[in-house]
Each structure stands twice: as C-alpha cells, then as structure tokens.
Amino acid sequence: MTNISKLASKFKDYVSPALLAVILAAIISGILFFINPIHGLADNGDFYRAMLGNGIYRLPHPSNQYLSYVIPKFGIMKYLNENNVAVFSSQSLFIQLALVLNRLFYSRTIFDIRFLGVVYYVFYLGGIYLLTKSLVYPYKKVRSYVVALLVVVMFADSSFTLYFNSFFAEPGMLIVMLYAFGALMAIAHKCYQKNWPMVLLFFVSSIILITNKQQNAPLALSFMVITIGLFFLPQVRARKLLLGLGMLGILIAGGVTYALINTEFSTVNQYQAFTHGVLMETGDPSHKIAKGGISQQFALMRADDYYPKTYAAVKPSGKLVTKKLTKRVGLAWVVRYYASNLRQFGQLLDVAAKDVMVTQVKAVGDYTKSSGAKPGTQVTYFTAFSAYMGAFFPGKFAFLCLLAIAFIAVYGVSFYLDLKSGKITGIIRFFLVLGLMTMVIFVPIISIIGDGDADLAKHLFMVPLSLDLVIIQFIADILHHRLWQSSTESRDWNEK
C-alpha cells in the first residue's frame, strides 16, 4: 500500500486532472482524425457555404462527393476569388488559419482537410484543459481525476469530434463554448490571480460562437443573461463600464449575424420550415394550410428538402414555388400557424426532444472511400456516451423544461446563499446555468419554427452541449462538496 501511495503521490505531482484530460482526449481524438483511414463527416450539401468564400473548391472526382464518403482533398484557388461569401461566419478564422498551415507544410494548390482538423484539434485541447481545471480547482484528489475522466467521456465523444474533419460550423461552436464556460468557471472558482484575461476570453468566445452560424444569432440573448453574473464581481465603476461594452458587443454580434442572413439561406429555411414543419405531425395538412391562404397542392411536398437527394416533383427554387409558397410563408406566417395549431407544435417539439441527445449526424458517412467501408457507414469508436444518452434520454419537450427548471432551482439556492454571504461563486454559476438552460428550452423552439425537423442533429447542437456542460458542472460540484457552499480551499477574492 505504501508503494501505491507513493506512486499516486508522484502521479499527482506530475499529472494534474486537467493534464490527464488533455492527454486522454488528444490520444482518443487523434486516432480518429489522423491515423489512416481518417474519419470525419461527408458533405450534406452545406460545405459550399464555408468553402467558396475561403477560396476552396471541389476537385474532379469519379464518384458522388456528397453524403456517402468523407472527401479529404480539395482545390485551392490560385487567383482572385470571384465568389461572394455565401454566409457571414467567424468559421472563416479557423479555415484561413488551416489554409496558412496547408500552404506552409503541404501544398499551395491542394487543401487537405486534416489541416483544418489540426487547427480545431489544438484549440479543442486547450478548451478541454481550461474546462477541466476550472471544474476541479484547487483540488488534486481522486474525485478530481474522476471529473477529468468524465470530461473525456463526454467531450471527447466521437459524435462531437467527427465534425473537425469537415466544413461544418459545429466544431468552432464546441470549442469556443468550452472556452466560454471554462472562463466563467475559472472566475467563479478563482483559478487565476488576475480575472480580466478570463473575462476577455469569455466575451471573445461568446462573440465568435454567435457569429459562427446564422442560427446562433438568438443565442446573444442567452449570453447576455450569463454575463449578468459578472456584474456582481467586486470592481470599480470603470470595469462595470467595460462589462457593459462587452454585453453591447454580444448584442451587436447577434444583430449583425441576423441582419447578414442572405436571401438564399432565408429561402431554404422558409421552404423547409413549411415542408419539414408545418406539413409534419398532422393528419390533414392540406386543410390547415388552406386556412392560412396557401394552396392545398403544396401539401404534397411534405418532408421534401430544398436540395433534394433524389427526383423532386416540383423544383423548390422554381417560379411557381417562389411566388405561391416561399414568398408567403415567412416567419410571421409560421408563428401564426403554430399559434393556431398548438397541439401539432407540441408534437414537433417532442420530435425535436427525441433527437436532442443524438449528436452524431446520421445523414452522412464518416469514412473515406479508400477505407473500403460501405457508403454512409457510421463510426462507433468512442461513442458510448452519446449512444447511451441518445437511446435513453426521454423524448419529451416537457422533460427538457422540467430538467431546466430543476437545474435553475438547484443553483438558485447556491445563488441565494452566496448572495447573503457576499461570495461570488454561486452567483456566477447561477447566471451561467440560467443562460444555458434558456438555450436548452428555446433552441428547439427556434429550430422547429425556423427549419422544421430538417437536420435536427445540427440545429440542436447547442442543446446537448449546454446540457452536458451543466451536468458535468453539477457532478463536479457534488463530488467537491460545493453545490450549495463555496469552496473553503480556494483563494480569497481580492482581485485588483
């Protein structure tokens, strides 16, 4: 026993919980990305939004380049890129950095998707380190290493990391959310002597996340709720002014992201909000849409995609559909429709709830063609957590709401106790949980109204991510006995 104790003591001296989490996540995800055959996500038709504006194009290929297989190589435009940016997105920051590395170490004409994977990989490991450290600080006990292992199980799950070798926007969302959450928890648990770097990191991460994808624009309101907790920090008036400017930056980021949604993107969403939303979960769609002034013939387009995988009876971008449907079925029309059909809307929310924890994209393959895998084959490597949650998580929107209320109530007690005792930990945690739970409740609503049940695994990405972060925080707080009481082992709050 003495030798075991000595080994354990040495291990704790050299390997912190945060470092252990980084090492394990690096090995697990590195095998997935960089060891042949490499894995990622095939294109479902959305890649062009990120590719064209960044000077990347498809190379000629003898087989279909969509859905079935991961395509690892793309072309880099040599001269002026005449393509307009398809969508406004901070994702370009990651892609441009990957292009720089690709040109330095590989080719100026051929882009290997693994360079984008490397960029995400490095930032991701930094996020894992900060998240783990902020959850367990200042402890180096067995329970801290248990939390580190749980972080790896939850956030190194392949359903999250498969996105890295792709042009989807989700990996950037995952990474900056880890940083934003970790930064606030680092402030709450007083991990660092100086606080302002973590405050700055939180605001930068929040703005990058909001501008990463058009659907993220409403998340600005949730991040403003989260920011309220920072105003309880002991600080001079000038710092409160800076926090106010940070909140203004978040609000502007949301407004700009929403305002820059282009016409094509809006048209696709309007079309699928109708075909994958209004026409779904109802036995008599033709009668209901007729009440809203839409021709009953459009009920035949039930579950149709704007970019159909096979033959479509009516061209979604055709003059007839544009004039008679998409120009009429705007956001206001959809909201009015659901207000008159609340039962149907509730059923659609339950459909969303069933997919909430299904984080692995099922519509595309995860292997390259050279691997010999069948078209559309899915990775099962290190997906136990997401598979379990997807299988057993209750598929009811009401359960999501009750779970959100339960977490808010639990951390509300901590907020009250720390507010009375003049401590900051419980206050920051409460507003963090409150903001994340608004995402859990409202993202499914926004997704159904905005795009129906199409691509729910991607549109609901922030819901399982937010839930997982709160769950790991809850477990860490219980294991470290600080759920309702701030740690007595952490540094006194004397931040200058």
- Residue ranges covered by each domain of the chain: 15-260+378-479, 263-340
Whole-number Å distance between alpha carbons of 2 and 462: 47
Give the pLDDT of the chain (496 residues) as one tens digit per residue: 566 667 767 777 788 999 999 999 999 999 998 888 889 999 887 888 888 888 898 888 766 677 889 989 999 988 766 655 556 789 999 999 999 999 999 999 999 999 999 999 999 999 999 999 999 998 878 999 999 999 999 999 999 999 999 999 999 999 999 999 999 999 999 999 888 899 999 999 999 999 998 889 999 999 999 999 999 988 756 788 889 999 999 999 999 988 887 777 778 888 888 888 888 887 788 888 888 888 888 888 887 877 766 666 677 778 888 888 888 888 889 999 999 999 999 999 998 898 888 888 888 889 988 888 898 899 989 999 999 998 888 889 999 999 999 999 999 999 999 998 888 999 999 999 999 999 999 999 999 998 888 777 678 999 999 999 999 999 999 999 888 876 544 444 444 3
Helix axes 91-105, 170-188, angle to 10 degrees: 110
- Do 150 and 384 contact (CB within 8 A), yes or no? no
CB-CB neighbours of 398 under 10 Å: 12
- Residues pairing with 444 in the sheet: none
φ, ψ of residue 74 to 5 degrees: the values are: -135, 165
pLDDT of residue 490: 43
Buried-state track 360-396, b at ≥16 Cβ within 10 A, e below 16: bbeebbbbbbebebeeeebbeebbebbbebbeebebe
- The CA-atom distances, in angstroms, between 157 and each of 100, 149, 401 are 28, 12, 25
pLDDT of residue 84: 58
262: exposed, middle or buried (C-beta count within 10 Å: 0-12, 13-18, 19+)?
Answer: middle
